[in-house]
Amino acid sequence: MKLLELQRTMACALMQPLTASERMQTRAPDGRAMRSYAARFIKPNDRLTSFERLEIYNRQYWFRLLSSMTEDFPGVRSVLGEKRFDAMCKAYLMDCPSRSFTLRNLGAKLESWLRAHPKWAGTKQQLVLDIARLEWADIEAFDAAALPALRTEDIAGAVGTDLRLQLQPYVQLLSFQYPVDDLLLAMRKEDEDKDFASNAFEERRKRKRVQAVVKLKPEAIFLVVHRIDNSVYFRRIEAEEFAVLSGLRQGKTLEKAVNAAFRKSSIPLGERAASVQQWFQNWATLGWFCRPEKTQSPS
């Protein structure tokens, strides 16, 4: 068996889902008995058969992936409940197996997958989508690139109508229907304090908190997830502020982004200039803009 064929045969076996008792399947992907399938490329030893040796890797593969999903999406887990979350993760990983050298990317498609498979969220569909999007943005904000920050001299000679500003890659712009930022922060606080209460008590408290959020009337919430000194923060912003930042990220000029943001705004006309000035001061202080890419002049 050549190396590439061996790798693919091994991968197919490892990615086979475990049984309900968390053991390896007795049937291989091609339908033959797994024992004969394993014997093709794994030798037995004096303690374990080929099947048993392969089963160790099969189980560890799934245990590690499910553990990673639990670590990355504790909010989704709290909303769905432990058993439903575990079943959902197994279904998701069958459709969206790991294709990266790092487990960091494992949950990249979770939100879109949940949209295509609404049965997993049931009556909590929008809440689950909101919190899944927030938890993925948290991952993106933590380790996305940070480019050199914009300086005053970088825009000193720019013409106002043509000025384009570039947001840092780690700055994530999100809109929600539920206050999932408050919910996630509260859950994290409870996890930090869990030494002072039983697991059963903590789970009941989380379920009550989730149910309280589900009963809320949906409303538009705008959030920026960003990074300062290797720590991720959530910052709520106004609808107009969100619209300006979104326009800039889409490549609009500053003038067009601002005009579009205030088109249907309830902010009084006389207060708009001061609002924009305050927003930009905050954004600049937080370092959300990066220096424009230098373009080579034609030779």
User: Could you write out the DSSP letters of every residue in 14-39?
Assistant: HTSPP-TTS---SB-TTSSBHHHHHH
Output the average pLDDT for the chain. Answer: 91
Calculate what percentage of the chain has a pLDDT beyond 90: 76
Helix (H, G, I), strand (E, B) or coil at 157: coil
Burial of 181 (0-12, 13-18, 19+ CB in 10 A): buried
Predicted pLDDT at 23: 96
- Please check the confidence at residue 94 and state whether its pLDDT lies above 60: yes
Please check whether residue 128 is in contact with residue 76, taking contact to mean a CB–CB distance below 8 angstroms.
yes
Beta bridge partner(s), residue 224: 173, 235
CA distance 89 to 102: 17
Higher pLDDT, 144 or 159: 144
List the one residue out of 160, 171, 151 whose CA is nearest residue 233: 171
Is the pLDDT score of 71 beyond 50?
yes
Does position 299 have pLDDT exceeding 50, yes or no? Answer: no
Contact 77, 67 (CB under 8 A): no
Q: What are phi and psi of 197, to 5 degrees?
A: -150, 160
- Average pLDDT, integer, range 138-161: 82
Q: How far, in Å, CA of 19 to CA of 16, rounded?
A: 9
97-134: pLDDT as tens digits: 998 999 999 999 999 999 999 999 999 999 999 999 99
Instruction: Give the per-residue pLDDT at 297.
Output: 45
- Position 197 pLDDT exceeds 90: no
- pLDDT value of position 158: 58
% pLDDT > 70, the chain = 93
**Identity of the amino acid at 29:** P
How many Å separate Cα 12 from the centre of its chain?
A: 27
Prediction pTM value: 0.88
CA dihedral of residues 14, 20, 25, 27 (deg, nearest 10):
-130
Cβ atoms of residues 78 and 187 within 8 Å: yes
Write down the pLDDT at residue 296: 45
- pLDDT for 154: 75
| 18-51 pLDDT tens trace | 999 999 999 998 899 999 999 999 999 999 999 9
- Per-residue pLDDT tens for 198-222? 666 777 788 888 888 988 898 999 9
CA 246 to chain centre: 19
Calculate mean pLDDT across residues 221-241. 96
162 contacts 253 by C-beta, under 8 angstroms = yes
**261-288, pLDDT tens digit by residue?**
999 999 999 999 999 999 999 999 999 9
Q: Are strands 231-237 and 289-290 parallel, antiparallel or unpaired?
A: unpaired
